[in-house]
Chains A and B, each alone.
Chain A
């Protein structure tokens, strides 16, 4: 499929329904990239800081509660995350946007990222922390200069898994980004506008009666699978034991 259309598959907009050619997934691919970038940008600080809080102050009640609550997010059907973001962000702002979708994906990735992060932070041997304190580091310095430095591979793996989980999700995007696939979201300003993503395109096009859109959906799902598998392979390179 992709071979037939060549590079334009990645750069064109979808063709008209029923047309002879298929067009491309350009806007959706860009949308997925933006979703990945923005949700990572929000998700990294949020999950790293929360993870540090949970691990460093593990005896504190607030840390225990945080741990239970964030881990429970894993058990929430992702369509409910879409619902939540729709009711709390899309409705008040009055329109769909890539930003709303990104926030939904942050919620999707959070529990995955957190469980990796916590394990990585936990596994840093105590002796290095002691060494940090012994040269007069404060707790903050020990965490940022020693613990995070040593746990870097695990942290990176957690973030990658989180992003991969996020961008391959469909349900949280159903009522948040709006499936606008006519324009290319190129500047960050476009984040406030409706957009599209690859999984959403697949979901909608395969349900259409048009042959050429079906082809496009298959091509898109191939691209999505490759992106996800490459991410997992990267993670596998970084840490030995991977749990998806």
Chain B
């Protein structure tokens, strides 16, 4: 390509500031998070990840103990529950839109799909409000209490559900929030399966069930991508989780007890953290972890997505 003309160069450089500002946001985020989390590492070392207590003290760092173990575990548990619950719904909804809604009813198909899309667009605070005021009490009365009564001997369900705000509620609410994402990732690939494969599968005389199974096999990488991207979203979601997870430092090993997630911890504590030595720094460590989870799951997800290829 020939040298840029002079006026093009001027144009190029006039756009550079905007581009720099846009791309430096991410860089700045990394720098700030690392900068602010360093003192926490220096003071507490690796202990912040393994300690289970959270006892801030206004006096000094020595008398306060900040453990991220519980919220970290809470984040993982709630996000895993969310993905596990959302996946079957996402897959069957894709099959429903693409295979069950009859061929001639494209209008219906698109409207249905738009509705699910709108679910993604609803403000997360609305999910949170609904989750706290309606979902949580409902689950407590109709699911948790019976579960506790029947399966109370299993450790997972061995704690008495006092409130409806539990780690399981967080997982269930999150599953509703990420289902549409996973749906759209999987459907996007599903729609691109070439007609010849569909015909070939049908020609084998498969039942609708077997057929759908074969088709899902073809978009397996995108299902994995959906899982990863959904997991990343669930782990990073903040206000909705903060409203329904209960916000207490209980081990999330019992799903019926209230617990904590990193995002909820940040949401609740960060505003006042300046009052306590090192609390900001510890919370920033949590933020750094969230950032890593978000970015890693997304990079892996995109890698899987790129693997969806239909070669004859």
How many residues of B are in contact with the other chain, CB < 8 A?
A: 60
* Chain B residues in 8 Å Cβ range of A134: none
Q: Does A169 count as interface, using CB distance less than 8 angstroms? A: yes
Q: Does A129 count as interface, using CB distance less than 8 angstroms? A: no
Indicate if the CB atoms of B287 and A79 lie closer than 8 Å: yes
Indicate if the CB atoms of B284 and A83 lie closer than 8 Å: yes
Q: Does B15 count as interface, using CB distance less than 8 angstroms? A: yes
Q: Which of A7-15, A187-195, A198-206 contacts B (4 or more CB under 8 A)?
A: A198-206
Indicate if the CB atoms of A49 and B19 lie closer than 8 Å: yes
CB distance from A148 to the nearest CB of B (A): 13
CB distance from B28 to the nearest CB of A (A): 7
Q: Does B2 count as interface, using CB distance less than 8 angstroms? A: no
B235-267 toward A: CB 8 Å interface, digit per residue (1/0)?
Answer: 111110011000000000000000000010011
Q: Which of B4-12, B45-53, B64-72 contacts A (4 or more CB under 8 A)?
A: B4-12
Indicate if the CB atoms of A164 and B32 lie closer than 8 Å: no
Indicate if the CB atoms of A72 and B19 lie closer than 8 Å: no
Indicate if the CB atoms of B184 and A87 lie closer than 8 Å: no
Q: Which of A23-31, A61-69, A149-157 contacts B (4 or more CB under 8 A)?
A: A61-69
Q: Does B232 count as interface, using CB distance less than 8 angstroms? A: yes
| Interfacial residues of chain A within 43-74, with CB under 8 A of chain B in the complex | 45-47, 49-50, 52-54, 56-57, 59-60, 62-63, 65-66, 69-70, 72-74
Q: Does A138 count as interface, using CB distance less than 8 angstroms? A: yes
Q: Does A145 count as interface, using CB distance less than 8 angstroms? A: no
Indicate if the CB atoms of B290 and A221 lie closer than 8 Å: no
- Alpha-carbon gap, A79 to B287, bound state (A): 8
Indicate if the CB atoms of A87 and B32 lie closer than 8 Å: yes
* Chain A residues in 8 Å Cβ range of B118: 229, 232, 244
26 A–B pairs (Cβ distance < 8 Å), ordered by A: A50-B15, A57-B12, A59-B1, A62-B16, A66-B19, A69-B26, A70-B25, A70-B26, A75-B232, A77-B236, A77-B290, A87-B36, A169-B124, A170-B128, A170-B238, A174-B267, A202-B129, A206-B132, A206-B133, A207-B243, A218-B129, A218-B133, A221-B126, A224-B126, A232-B121, A244-B120
